[in-house]
Structures are given as C-alpha cells and as structure tokens.
Structure 1
Amino acid sequence: MLHQKSALRLAAPVAVLALALTACGGGEDTADTADKPQDTSSSAGKPEVSPEPESGGELATGESATGKVTEGEAPVTYEIVAQKADVGTEADAAKLVSDPEKAKGLVLVVAHVKYTHKEGPALTESPEVQRGVSISADGTRGSMLIGAADDAAGCEDPYGLKGWKQGESHVLCETYLVPAGSKQIEVQWAEENGEPFIWKFAS
C-alpha cells in the first residue's frame, strides 16, 4: 500500500447519494404563498421577500457555488469550485489499495476543489467542508479512497488548516475509484441534506 492512510471504502453508493439528493424544503415557501393570496392588508407597505433559490444544479467549468457548513459549532460560508478531475490508470489504482484484485477494471480520479472562506469565524479544527464532495462516472457513484490524495500535486493537507479565516482559499482533493473507460466524470458538492452542485469533466 502506497500510503498508510489509504483505505478502500466500498460503501453502498445509492444510499450515500440519496442523502446528498434530499430536497432542501423549498416547497414550504410555495405553500405559504398559496395560503395567503388575498392578504393585502397585512402586507401593505412592506417589501416583498422572494424565497431563497434552491441549492444545487449543474455548473459550467470554472463557475462557483456558495454553500454553508458547520465548522465546530459555528456556520461558515464558502465559495466552492471544482477545478479539475485528474484520471489515472488501472496500474495507479492497484498501487494504492491493499488488495489489488479489488481495483481490477477501475481507475483513480482525483478531484481538485477550491474553497474560499467567505463568512464566519476562523476555523478552530480541521475543515469539514470537503466532506460534501463525491465523484461519479457516467452517472454511477465511485468508491472513495481515504487519504489517497494527500500527496498529490496541488492538493493541500486539511489537517494543517486550523485557523482558516475569511478571505483565504485552499485546494482540497478527494480520490475515488471509478470504472475504466468512463466517458464523463461528475464532481459533486452538497450541503448536508442539500441538492448537489455538479461540475462535469471529460474523462
């Protein structure tokens, strides 16, 4: 095994992805509006407040999303953008797992995601924001390799980011195993119980 912290997590992909795709509850705003279509007296003179847009959706290459994550005990708002998805070989995958047989027919994908701290207190512990990332290939979620991207070029160690404050940006990476020959890679990031933002890259 190339890295002591590397471990193959073959979790049930559908169950994990279902958590990321849970609706944000935006329908409640619509219901409230429908219940009071003629209540003009109470709203006279007050500015109209539009409901917050639902999070998630496909983004163009280089386009950023905004998300909020609880870091420690306080919410922190980040600007997030998936910069690229590096696809490796089956030989690369075999080197990073304890049982090379489990990597047959699979390749590594390393997603480079840039996070900018926009609002909230400085972090007191290592960040949680990167936990919202997942990688899919041709619509099927891959299997995560924990710690495999720690030494990849351009990737920072999240355990060294205690004290991350507003205005600072860092690139954190996640590594997944996906089927060899996949045509399209999707890097997704979602708030807890939120719709995912999706960046697509050619394999």
Structure 2
Amino acid sequence: MLHHKTALRLAAPMAVLALTLTACGGGGDKADAKSPDTARAKASPSPSAASGGEMGTGEAATGKFKEDPGVVTYGIVAQKVVLGTEADAAKAVADAKNAKGKVLATAQVRFTHKGGPTLTDSPDVNDGTEVYADGVPGAILIGADESAVAGCEDPYDVESWKQGGSHVFCETYLVPVDAKSVEVHWAEEDGAPYVWKFPGK
C-alpha cells in the first residue's frame, strides 16, 4: 500500500502548494482525493517518550520505519537545508500569489539502513520528514522537483537497499523569507520528532 504522501506525489503532475496547514495538536489530515491541488501539510506526530529531541549539527538519530518488506532500523541525520529565492517559490506553485513572502526550503536528510530486511522497492522512510520555520510548520510542495538540488536522490530510483547502505532524500517546503531558523523534523509513525536546526536567510 502506498503511503499518503507517496500517493499524492504520483497524483500531482506539477508542484502545488499545500495551502492548508495542520493546527498544533490537530489530528491527521487527508487530501481531497478529487482535488490533489488542495493537498495539505502532514500532521505533527503524537508525542512519545521513546524517541525525539533536539539534535546537534551532524548528530544522527536512530529510528524504525515500516517499509513494504518489514520494519527497518535507520540512522537519520539532517545534513542541511537549501534555501531558494522568492522568485523560485513563485515559479514552483500553481498560483504565484500563494508564494508571496515565501522561499523554498529543501531539507536534505541522509538515511542509513542499519537493520531489517533488504528493500526491493522504493523506500517510504522520508515520509517522516517535515520542515518548520521558527517553530511553525512550513507548507509542503507536492511534486517538487528535488532532482534540481545537488545531492538529492530520488527514492523511486532505489531498487535494492541493504544494511550499511545510505541514501540522501529531500523534502521541499515553503517557509517565510524572513525566518530566523529552519528546522528539519523526522519522526517515527507514533514518535516525537528528532529536530535539527539550521539558520534562516
């Protein structure tokens, strides 16, 4: 079964702005199946004492994620966030006015397969990645072309992923141009997020 975000990526032929953000403490949202252009940002994960916390620069977290062959243990580290321009943001969305005062923020996260079955299909572990700005969730771009950002790999190109192997996957969000800090969050399905902070513009 495809994960929610993966299905949205397949449904959206071009990048579209996730206009509706999830309020703090809200439950999970589902995009309108009849209108993929109204896709929503992912809900914040439920707190869990077993995981999560602020990470130092270059510090790796360990988390488990359910893939198609079974549960895989990953080492996760947010390497950096690549910030674009307001002009880039305006070109990336269906309606440029929705990107006013915003820039693209592409999080680059390195995942290392540490335990569990070999993946023979596209991994979904990057579904746990979110981008925040000054503590507020950004708006995810469904169908963003992350291949244009150096260092980003396409999960659909991963055909066999064994223990010890690493890949860098990216997620692109819209964040305010004047954000002082940008945070990359990654969480297990029911866990609190690990958080890596990076400077804004």
TM-score (norm 1): 0.80
Query: AA paired with 1:178?
Result: V
| Per-residue CA distance 1:79-120 (angstroms, 9 max, x = gap) | 000000111111010111111111111111010000000101
CA RMSD of superposed structures (Å): 1.8
How much does 1:19 deviate? 4.9
- Equivalent in 22, 31, 55 of residue 46 of structure 2: 22
CA contact (8 A) 1:83 1:112 kept: yes
Indicate the SS of the match to 1:130: helix
Task: Name the structure 2 match of 1:187.
Answer: 184
Say if 1:11 and 1:162 are closer, same or farther in 2 by CA, change over 3 A: farther
Specify the alignment match of 1:97 in structure 2.
Answer: 93
Secondary structure of the structure 1 residue equivalent to 2:121: coil
Q: CA contact under 8 A between 2:105 and 2:173: conserved in structure 1?
A: yes
SS at match of 1:150: helix
* Residue in structure 1 matched with residue 115 of structure 2 by the alignment: 119
Q: SS of the counterpart of 2:148?
A: coil
Of 11, 14, 21, 1:5 maps to 14
Q: Secondary structure at the match of 1:13?
A: coil
Structure 1 residue 4 displacement after superposition: 4.2
The number of residue pairs the alignment matches comes to 173
The answer on whether the counterparts of 2:21 and 2:137 sit within 8 Å (CA) in structure 1 is no
Q: Percent identity?
A: 53
Post-superposition shift, 1:157?
Answer: 0.6
Distance 1:195 1:117, change over 3 A: same
Asked which structure has the greater CA Rg, the reply is 1
Asked whether 1:64 is paired with 2:60, we answer yes
Name the CA shift for 1:18/1:175 in 2 (closer, same or farther; >3 Å). Answer: closer
Secondary structure of the 2:147 match is: coil
Structure 2: segments with no counterpart, 5+ residues? 1-11, 29-40
Q: Secondary structure at the match of 2:91?
A: helix
TM-score (norm 2): 0.81
Task: Determine the C-alpha separation between the residues in 1 that align with 2:42 and 2:90.
Answer: 29
Structure 1 residue 11: deviation in Å? 3.3
Pick aligned residue for 2:128 from 101, 121, 132: 132
Question: Structure 1: any 5+ residue segments left out of the alignment?
Answer: 27-53
Find 2:137's aligned residue among 117, 128, 141.
Answer: 141
The answer as to whether partners of 2:69 and 2:119 remain within 8 angstroms in 1 is no
